[in-house]
Amino acid sequence: MASFHGQCQSKLETDSIETVKKLLRKNGRVESFYLGASANPSKQCLRFLFILKRAGIDEIEALMNDSSTCLRVYAYSYLRSIDYNGLRKVKLALQKDSSRIYFISDCVGGNTEVRYVLKRIKQWEINGKFEKWVTAFAEHENYWINLLMAEK
């Protein structure tokens, strides 16, 4: 009986991760954790943190090959924050990417090319900022779960 429950939990987790990936792809933006003067949490960033909490490093690495630009950029920013060894190859590919993506960090942003986003996300590492987002998400996940699952 316990193994059946474990299988159901695993299936539920997998389905939840896939649902959140679909929402990330649909929105397509890359956003920092808190946005604007009112410091509202970003649904997009919350979604990535949801995946991050449940995925192993191999699953995050696989996101680097996803069809979604925003998933690739989020995965890159996380891997960069943990000093991932294989980052050079990934960075070179993203630096050549001239596709456009909506990017916003804090209250500054707009529609820009992926290669320019790479320069801006460096600030997410200042004083362990990305890791602070991971911690804040974990501490308040139950509060934010409905927000990150909402389509609009």
Residue 146: which domain range? 56-104+116-152
Look at the chain and report how many structural domains it folds into: 1
On whether the pTM is more than 0.85, the answer is yes
70 domain-assigned: yes
pLDDT of 108 > 90? The answer is no
18 domain-assigned: no
d(CA 14, CA 141): 17
Query: Between residues 101 and 122, which one has the greater pLDDT?
Result: 101
List of E strands, the chain? 30-35, 40-41, 100-106, 108-113
111 domain-assigned: no
At residue 37, the pLDDT reads 61
pLDDT in tens, 48-97: 999 999 989 999 999 988 999 999 999 999 998 888 888 888 888 888 88
Mean pLDDT of 127-146: 90
82 domain-assigned: yes
Element (H, E) at 18: helix 2-27
Q: Is 69 helix (H, G, I), strand (E, B) or coil?
A: helix
Q: Around Cβ 30, how many Cβ atoms within 10 Å?
A: 29
pLDDT in tens, 1-52: 343 334 444 777 778 899 999 999 999 999 999 876 677 789 999 999 999 9
91 domain-assigned: yes
149 domain-assigned: yes
